[in-house]
Amino acid sequence: MPLRHPSRTRRLLAATTGIVALGLLVAGCTPATSNKPVGEPKTGGTLTYASGDAEPTCLDPHVGGNFPQALVSAQYLESLVSRDSAGQIIPWLAESWTPSDDGLTWDFTLRSDVTFTDGTVFDASAVQANIAHLQDPTTLSSTGYLALGKVTGTEAVSPTVVRFTLSEPDSALLESLSQTWLAMESPTALKRSQDENCAAPVGTGPFLVESWVKQNAITLVRNDDYVSPPADADHAGPAYLDEVIWRFIPDSASRYAALQSGEVDVIDNAQPDTIVQAEQSDSIEHLDSPRPGSSNRIELNSGQAPFDDVRVREAFIHSANVDDAVSSLFQGTATRSYSALSSVESTAVSNPALFDYDPTAAATLLDAAGWSETDADGYRVKDGVRLSVEFPVSTNQSIPAEQSVFEQIQATAKETGFEVKLAPMDLSSWYAALASNDYNAVSAPYTKVGPDVLRILYHSDSIVPAPSGYFANLAQVNDPAIDELLTTAARTADAAERASLYADAQNRILEGFYILPLYDQQNHFLLRSDVVGLRTLPTVAVPTLYDAWLNR
């Protein structure tokens, strides 16, 4: 659930005690607007958004399908359904839906008053064209393609009713369709060449892509004919903002400086140090919106020594002092997780008792597992082999604070006798290390709406590498009982029964010590205080500027 932290008390504290000279200087130089009363929304103005993510190579999230694409395309594309902050699926472009009793066909009733921004009518055949586009190999879709794995076909029952046919029941179908990577695009626009469609996809959203100057900015302008906000939006009709400039500022410090100086109004990927600074500032607000799907966790490779022994996995978990590392290095901006799932997932199971920092217990477990001797460097040995943990770290995915957490874990695990070998590497090398099974521990977050992410991450099918060498079950969990629970849950429509199956599966995963949960996937936004009404979609936690307006 996205939380807004106005942190008024902290700001008051900062102002009265004058914490640091820098903070005061900043507060002195920038106009303090947060005290202005928030009245009726004002229409007009240009909002500048600065993303720290890589610039997408294609603005159509059907192609590939990554987070940077979702961030920007949520402004001009919309999905069939959405999710509210309580985790319930809510109407969007589809008004209602009914599965058949066997769960193999789903009828979606569509809104009849929606047109794409190129004038094409949104109807059943448009939905069909989108599903076909996502499933066409030449689209090169990855995320959307996977999410539609069980969909075998679509049929236009009437102009406003589209029927999905499935190969087997899919309890995650609605959650999958709610994701921005499966948003609806104009079938007319999809007929253009992929290059053209990548440069300016056409949707039904509150904004439309006016221009994209690569490596500089994407310009979005208001869709004046907009009628289709999701059921949980704050207002109806067109967006308030005239225009959105979407920039890419890769460097964290300059991104924050641009926000402080007012060059930009919103930044994403805010790092712990800047969040702490911002909370002392009068003119900047903080929006914390953890991503759905998995938590950030260290996966212990149970497919090979030494973590093929559950006692060694448990010993490692008890030898790592995660709490202290997280609280000191994230400076209070991240909350410790004890779950395989993100805290935004209502089906998440948390079990703090399993993840105590307990070096004594760890030592006993290692003794029992045969790692009883210690070499000259203080590391445990068994049959002349040192207790080493190869830990490749992606410097693209792990932010500096997280890399420091790993170093703290390395230091505390050493006291118990683990030699953790952290190997920072670029993204390609990191994936290659995983593909060649050269790892014992790894952190690889996975964003997906709903608990079905557990099937992707922990079903034994996911140990089989894709043609690219990628496999998602990096803990290499190979437990028929977990497989059975996850397969059944994915076919179970009843919400309570489904949640209970996922709870059982999570308990088995946690109790098998396959993972060491750290915190939710961090997703922090900082915005100028005069930006009002900005929220994130409770689906994939990307901001939507539809309700946003400028109080200036």
Partner 1 sequence: MFRVPVLQLLRRVLTRLAGAVFVLWMVASVTFFAVRLIPGDPAQAVLGGPGSQASPEALAAVNAQYGFDQPVIRQYFSQLGRLATGDLGRSYALNLDVGPLLLSQLGGTLLLAVVALALAWLLALALATWSTRSGRIASRVGSALEIVAAALPHFWLATSLIVVFSIWLGVLPPISTGGTLGLVLPVLTLAIPLAGFLGQIMRESLLRALESPFVLSARARGENERGVRWIHALRHASLPAISLSGWAFGSLISGAVVVETIFARPGLGRTLLNAVTLRDVPVVIGVVMIVAVAYILMTLLTDAVSRLVDPRLRLS
The residues binding partner 1 (CB under 8 A) are: 22, 25-26, 29-30, 50, 54-55, 57-58, 63-66, 137-143, 145-146, 194-195, 198, 213-217, 247-251, 253-255, 257-258, 260-261, 263-264, 396, 426-433, 466-470, 472
Q: What is the DSSP letter of 526?
A: E
Nearest to 359 by CA among 423, 411, 408, 315: 315
Between 53 and 358, name the residue whose CB sits nearer to partner 1. 53
Specify the residue, 9 or 138, whose C-beta has the smaller distance to partner 1.
138
**Token reading at 231:** 């059921």
What minimum distance in Å lies between the beta carbon of 57 and partner 1? Answer: 5
- State the minimum distance, in angstroms, from the CB of residue 428 to partner 1: 4
Nearest-approach distance from CB 360 to partner 1, in angstroms: 39
384: which residues sit within 8 A by CB, 6+ positions away? none
Cβ distance to partner 1 smaller for residue 239 or 475: 475
Q: How far is the CB of 138 from partner 1 (least distance, A)?
A: 6
Q: Is 502 helix (H, G, I), strand (E, B) or coil?
A: helix
3-state secondary structure of 107: strand
- At position 454, the amino acid (one-letter code) is L
State the burial class of residue 502 (Cβ atoms within 10 Å of its Cβ: 0-12, 13-18, 19+): buried
Query: Pairing between strand 81-83 and 373-374?
Result: unpaired
Q: Provide the minimum distance between the beta carbon of 385 and partner 1 in the complex, in angstroms, as a whole number.
A: 26
User: Shortest gap between Cβ of 447 and partner 1 (angstroms)?
Assistant: 12
- Helices (H), ranges, 442-526: 453-458, 480-491, 495-511
Peptide bond preceding 451: is omega within 30 degrees of 0, i.e. cis? no
Instruction: Give start and end residues of each alpha helix (H) in 179-299.
Output: 187-190, 194-199, 252-260, 272-279
Nearer to partner 1, 299 or 547 (CB): 299
For residue 546, give the 3-state DSSP assignment: coil
CA distance 348 to 350: 6
Half-sphere exposure of 470 (CA within 13 A, CB side): 11
Shortest separation between residue 391's beta carbon and partner 1, angstroms: 17
Q: Least distance in Å: CB of 276 to partner 1? A: 16
Quick one: 384 or 467, whose CB is closer to partner 1? 467
One-letter amino acid for residue 11 of the chain: R
- Of 198 and 317, the one with the shorter C-beta distance to partner 1 is 198
We find the least distance from the C-beta atom of residue 149 to partner 1, in angstroms, to be 10
Q: 372-380 — which CB contacts under 8 Å span 24+ positions?
A: 374/417, 377/419, 378/414, 378/417, 379/414, 379/417, 379/418, 379/419, 380/416, 380/417, 380/418
Name the residue nearer to partner 1 (CB basis): 29 or 38.
29
Q: Which two tokens stand for residue 342?
A: 């993100």
| Closer by beta carbon to partner 1, 156 or else 245 | 245
Bridge-based pairing state of the strands 266-267 and 46-51: parallel
Q: Which H or E element spans position 486? A: helix 480-491
Whether 334 and 326 have beta carbons less than 8 Å apart is answered as yes
Instruction: Using the minimum distance from each CB to partner 1, give the nearer residue, 120 or 269.
Output: 269
Nearer to partner 1, 190 or 315 (CB): 190
Residue 263, sorted as left (phi over 0), alpha (psi -120 to 50) or beta, turns out to be alpha
Taking the least distance from each CB to partner 1, the nearer of 388 and 429 is 429
Q: Closest separation between CB of residue 79 and partner 1, Å? A: 19
Q: Rounded to whole angstroms, what are the CA distances from 26 to 20, 133, 275, 283?
A: 10, 49, 14, 9
Half-sphere exposure of 528 (CA within 13 A, CB side): 27
Contact criterion met (CB below 8 Å) for 317 and 516: yes
Q: Where are the alpha helices (DSSP H) in 399-494?
A: 400-416, 427-435, 453-458, 480-491
- Comparison of 55 and 309: residue with beta carbon closer to partner 1: 55
Q: Residue 187: which of 118, 113, 138, 114 has the closest Cα?
A: 118
SS3 at position 130: helix
Cβ of residue 263: shortest distance to partner 1, in angstroms?
6
The distance of closest approach from Cβ of residue 370 to partner 1 in the complex, given in angstroms and rounded to an integer, is 34
Contact residues for 522 (Cβ-Cβ < 8 A; gap 6+): 290, 296, 333, 334, 399
Q: For residues 5 and 165, give the distance between their C-alpha atoms in angstroms, rounded to a whole number.
A: 44
Closer of 328 and 428 to partner 1 (Cβ): 428
| Closest distance of CB 139 from partner 1, Å | 8
